[in-house]
Amino acid sequence: MIARALFLALVLAVNLPVPAHAANSKYASLAGNPGLRSASAIVLDGQGNVIYSKDENTVRPIASITKLMTAMVILDAGLDLDEKLTITRADRDLIRMTGSRLGFGATLTRRELILLALMSSENRAATALGRTYPGGMEAFVAQMNAKAQALGMHKSRFADSSGLRSENVSTASDLAKMVTAASRYPLITQATTTVRHEVRPYSSKGPLNYGNTNRLLKNDSWNIELSKTGYINEAGRCLVMQANIDGEHVSIILLNSFGKLTPFGDSNRLRKWMLASS
């Protein structure tokens, strides 16, 4: 105990970073293993201390987790969120050939497209956001990568605004930085935790109702502050979240889970492990 106290005093005296679990945290001395099935994972407390990690520095495709960066780049640009944008044939998914309820001619505000891209992972919405950026998609992707470097995400690379391309890659550690940055945007936290939303993209048709892709938002035992799911074959199932667990703000990054419910199961296993040890 004396040696540890002297070590911490030295750390503070020379202004060195405090190792994980050295800072005050209710989860600073967790024992055992939560038994996660995701290939990569990292969990941090509100001070950025690592609570749990697994293969956190391996570079992997991140699928629609990409859309968090898309939203940040749009918001950083200060573009008019109330400007109406129209879906065109250029917004089709020619990589995965996925469909969309936003047909050609559908018109929504930039704000609504951000909301649909984040909460329901609408690919055409995300593509339209990048396409209508000043300079087009090429300039948009360049800014995504510049933003990643500015955040210290040095193992990350972005290739499109939707995450459909497998060249969108990152690590669990890098994504923890991205989630922390995204949490500073009120529109992103609002959009990613909205359970259902109605839009009217057609003047002559009725509304379209969208739901959030994270089923944990419907679970009363969870207090989720930011959320994004992702999936393509190369990435497996992915989930990033910020949540309040028993009064502690926690960031959770789960990558490459081959099983539709595995990220949600892993999240529940993590929460149970943390609560049992606190």
List phi, psi (to 5°) of 160. -160, 175
Q: Which DSSP helix (H) or strand (E) runs through 209?
A: strand 208-211
Instruction: Please state, as a whole number, how many other Cβ atoms lie within 10 Å of the Cβ of residue 165.
Output: 19
Let me know if 121 is a catalytic residue: yes
Distance CA 240, CA 220 (A): 18
Cα torsion angle, 236, 242, 245, 249, sign: positive
Let me know if 64 is a catalytic residue: yes
Residue 208 β-bridge partners: 199
What's the token pair of residue 75? 């918001």
Residue 241, burial from CB neighbour count under 10 angstroms (0-12, 13-18, 19+) = buried
Nearest-10 crossing angle of helices 66-76, 136-150: 100
Of 25, 38, 40, 67, the active-site residue reads: 67
Let me know if 67 is a catalytic residue: yes
Of 64, 156, 161, 173, the active-site residue reads: 64
Amino acid at 191: A
Of 25, 120, 121, 173, the active-site residue reads: 121
Half-sphere exposure of 63 (CA within 13 A, CB side): 20
Catalytic residue positions, numbered:
64, 67, 121
